[in-house]
Chains A and B, each alone.
Chain A
């Protein structure tokens, strides 16, 4: 579904590379976890894949279902079925969740020659999807993330994903800052959405989320590269040993050039 090949990227207009040759293949039906210390480039990877204009791809390519999407705008990537759950969801006062989601859903439907939903049909659909994150109807009337608690903002990202039903979702630290109840709701929601036809990439600093969502693959990212990939047991290893051991191993391998 997604193939990232030797991806290099920097902040637009700056020389310093943040991604230094990422390689990653994701197939449908898979859940991946990308872990790594702060500043390793995990969030940048998510933003670059979703088309954030702040970053420039200097080398390599991103293929989505075989198509090179490197030059596509963020909305075009969304139309193809890609989704980014933001680490810090943006507050947009004055626009309700319902307004955004209907605009979003129908735009994506239109771009894919699927039928758009009228307001009544869409309302029924929204109510059904609200169950995924255990939220009340009144949630739809609130301005996007405005005045939301940290947990509500993260739930809203999962809710948007539940409504838009993307093929591939990058979830950027969706677990950070969640109390235990919110973490359960959020991970339950993600588990309900995950299926054989889609793929999910969880970007996380901690093993915590992975107690509730079982990944098929765990990758460790350091210094702009994926340095190790393995099964779910890698997460436990990292939890026990921290990143220091890997960091040492990694620099001994001659990376400090």
Chain B
């Protein structure tokens, strides 16, 4: 016997949660209500959806997640090893989605700059004006964005006033601890950079244990005229976690947004960065570096939207795949009608260290304008045997030769890190990733 009407699968089928409870803060409550309505309406994506063809979400849908408060999460121990020396007094710590005032320190933030929580600044006109205004995922019926909207009760708020430079990098540290049950968390960031302001933000996600959870961060960056940001995002979630993130930047005239996303953790990482050009003469970067092994999946579906004249965009997405890991890259670039003089660079380079790894790559350019320079390319390759032999013949062990070659492959991405300790952290991660005993597959040229 089968039922005549099959019930639509929504995320609520495998999530617990009382989405009728809304925030006391009006501006958050509004989004909570909107999100709650959407999550019961928006379908849960399957492999039949074009944007999810290669990424199997059954690791989520066959599981059951509870709100983090009900998960029986461990208390946090000492996490000071994750503090950045450059951000000792410009750090916001969230543990399992809850703001941790004790571990946060904002002493070096200038008085006219706002760095704090959305709850604390819920009455701010800036928050009211911008929060939730840039996530355009409704038209895609994006259930993950809806879940973040419905569930978040707090988050990060950063407001850098006109002509102000924040010297210290602002470190947003999202820590997840071990828990009795798989849980979900919905970190949220709102960044507003006023005209000609300048700042650096390091957004980090760290899983302290090997537990299952679902991390769904949404970050909105409103970059006003001539404002400039260096945004490093480091994903080091638990190797059993699912991380589905939606970072979006809106750029006004002369604005610069430079983001570098590093993917090291999570069983499933899905990142949909979007950059929208609101006016002329903007300059932005959405680079990525992915290092995955085991059975990790890292899927980047980016969208760059050129809507006006004169823009420079840069997207270098580098991927190293070992074991049975799987990387997916889909890079959409729109150049709308009448947006001339666009210089857009996109490249996806993949290095396969094993015979069982998989890479899917697809540049997707939609250009409705004629005076445009869009270069794009994708390469997939193994380590080059001739290069390995060259170094080997100079006395380096094969292992060392391969380590150096993988290191060289990733270096271009890492060198862009402005914060010295982040730079060093990533070099250490690369060495950790490559210095395993198994042989990597190499082929002759």
Interface residues of A (CB under 8 A from B): 50-54, 73-75, 77-79, 83-84, 86, 89-90, 92-95, 99-100, 103-104, 107-108, 111, 143-144, 160, 164
B395 touches A164 (CB 8 A): yes
Q: What residues on B are CB-neighbors of A90 within 8 Å?
A: 384, 386-387, 389-390
Assess whether A104 is in contact with B408, with CB atoms less than 8 Å apart.
no
Mask, B354-395, CB within 8 Å of A = 1, is 000000000000000000000000000000111101111111
Contact of B390 among A83, A89, A103 (CB under 8 A): A89
Interface flag for B433 (CB, 8 Å): no
Nearest residue (CB) in B for A96 is B408
- Which residues from chain A contact B405 at a C-beta distance below 8 Å? 92, 95
State A107–B411 Cα separation when bound (angstroms). Answer: 23
Please measure, in the bound complex, the distance between the C-alpha atom of A111 and the C-alpha atom of B395, giving whole angstroms.
10
A182 to chain B, nearest CB (A): 21
Indicate if the CB atoms of A103 and B412 lie closer than 8 Å.
no
The complex places the Cα of A94 from the Cα of B384 at a distance, in Å, of 14
User: Would you give 16 A-B contacts (Cβ < 8 Å), ordered by A?
Assistant: A50-B393, A73-B392, A73-B398, A74-B392, A74-B393, A92-B387, A92-B391, A92-B408, A94-B408, A95-B407, A99-B404, A100-B394, A100-B396, A104-B396, A107-B397, A164-B394
Report yes or no: B404 in contact with A75, Cβ–Cβ below 8 A: no
B52 on interface, CB distance cutoff 8 Å = no
Closest chain A CB from B280 CB (angstroms)? 35
| Given A73-B398, A75-B396, A75-B397: A100 and B391 interface contact (C-beta under 8 Å) | yes
Residue of B nearest to A163 (CB): B394
Nearest CB of A to B12, in Å: 48
B residues apposed to A, CB below 8 Å:
384-387, 389-398, 400, 404-405, 407-409, 411-412, 444
A83 to B391, CA, bound (A): 12
Q: How far is the CA of A56 from the CA of B411 in the complex (A)?
A: 35
User: Which of B392, B393, B395, B397 has the most CB atoms of chain A within a 10 A radius of its CB?
Assistant: B395
Knowing that A74-B389, A79-B395, A90-B386 are A-B contacts, what are 6 other residue pairs whose CB atoms are under 8 Å apart, sorted by A's residue number? A83-B393, A84-B393, A103-B394, A103-B404, A107-B395, A107-B400
Measured CB to CB, the closest approach of chain B to A85, in angstroms, equals 10
**A-B Cβ contacts below 8 A, count:** 72
> Which residues of B lie under 8 Å from residue A99 when comparing CB positions?
404
In the assembled complex, the Cα of A143 lies from the Cα of B404 at a distance in Å of 12
Residues of A within 8 A of B384 (CB): 90
A80 CA to B398 CA, complexed, in Å: 17
Which residues of chain B come closer than 8 Å to A143, judged between CB atoms? 408
Query: In the complex, which residue of chain B has the Cβ closest to the Cβ of A80?
Result: B395
Tell me the smallest distance from the CB of A108 to a CB of chain B, in Å: 5
Please tell me which one of the listed residues A77, A83, A103 contacts residue B396 in the complex, with CB atoms under 8 A apart. Answer: A103
CA distance A51 to B400 in the complex (A): 17
Minimum CB–CB distance from B378 to chain A (whole Å) comes to 18
Known: A92-B405, A94-B408, A108-B395. A103 touches B389 (CB 8 A): no
- State the CA gap A50–B412 with chains docked (Å): 32
Q: How far is the CB of B287 from the nearest CB of chain A, in Å?
A: 16
Residues of B within 8 A of A83 (CB): 393
Interfacial chain B residues near A95, Cβ < 8 Å: 391, 404-405, 407-408
Question: Across the interface, which residues of A come within 8 angstroms of B394, CB to CB?
Answer: 75, 78, 100, 103-104, 160, 164
A75 & B398 in contact (Cβ 8 Å cutoff): yes
Chain A residues with CB below 8 A from B398, complex form? 73, 75
Q: When chains A and B are docked, how far (Å) is the Cα of A75 from the Cα of B24?
A: 67
A90 to B444, CA, bound (A): 12
Q: Is the CB of A107 within 8 A of B389?
A: no
Interface centre among A75, A84, A107, A164 (most CB of B within 10 A): A75
Q: Which residues of B contact A164 (CB under 8 A)?
A: 394-395
Contacts of A84 in B (CB 8 A): 393
Complex Cα distance A160/B396, Å? 14
- Say whether B387 contacts A107, CB under 8 Å: no
Do A94 and B387 contact each other (CB < 8 Å), given the known contacts A107-B396, A108-B395? Answer: no
Give, as a whole number of angstroms, the nearest-CB distance from A105 to chain B. Answer: 8
Q: A74 CA to B397 CA in the complex, in Å?
A: 9
Partner of A94, one of B391, B400, B412: B412
Closest chain B residue to A76, Cβ basis:
B395
In the assembled complex, the Cα of A92 lies from the Cα of B390 at a distance in Å of 9
Q: Closest 10 A-B residue pairs measured CB to CB? A: A94-B408, A78-B395, A90-B390, A104-B394, A74-B393, A74-B392, A108-B395, A107-B395, A95-B408, A104-B395
With contact pairs A75-B395, A104-B396, A107-B395 given, residues A52 and B389 touching in the complex (Cβ less than 8 Å):
yes
Shortest distance in angstroms between B299's beta carbon and chain A's nearest beta carbon? 26
Closest to B410 in A: A94
- Given the complex, which residues of A lie within 8 Å of B386, measured CB to CB? 90
CB closest residue in chain B, given A53: B389
In the assembled complex, which residues on chain A have CB atoms less than 8 Å from the CB atom of B411? 94
Chain A residue nearest to B399 in the complex (CB): A75
- CB–CB A94/B395 < 8 A: no
Which residue on B lies nearest to A143, using beta carbons? B408
On chain B, the residues within 8 Å of A52 by CB distance are 389, 393
- Residues in A with CB closer than 8 Å to B395 are 75, 78-79, 104, 107-108, 111, 164
Q: What is the bound-complex CA distance between A54 and B393, given in angstroms?
A: 13
Closest to A50 in B: B393
Determine the distance from Cα of A100 to Cα of B404 in the docked complex, in whole angstroms: 9
- Please, how many angstroms separate the alpha-carbon atoms of A86 and B390 in the complex? 8
Enumerate chain B residues within 8 angstroms of A104, measured Cβ to Cβ: 394-396
Residue among B389, B394, B411 with max Cβ neighbours from chain A (10 Å): B394
A74 to B386, CA, bound (A): 13
Tell me the minimal C-beta distance from B428 to chain A in angstroms.
Answer: 17
Separation of A224 and B404 alpha carbons in the complex (Å): 36
A107 (CB) vs chain B CBs: closest residue: B395
In whole angstroms, how far apart are the Cα atoms of A232 and B398 in the complex? 39
Query: Nearest-CB distance from B405 to chain A (Å)?
Result: 7
Docked Cα-Cα span, A53 to B411, in Å, equals 28
With a cutoff of 8 Å between Cβ atoms, the chain A residues found around residue B387 in the complex are: 90, 92
Chain A residues within 8 Å of B385, by CB: 53
Residues of B within 8 A of A94 (CB): 407-409, 411-412
B431 → chain A closest CB, angstroms? 13
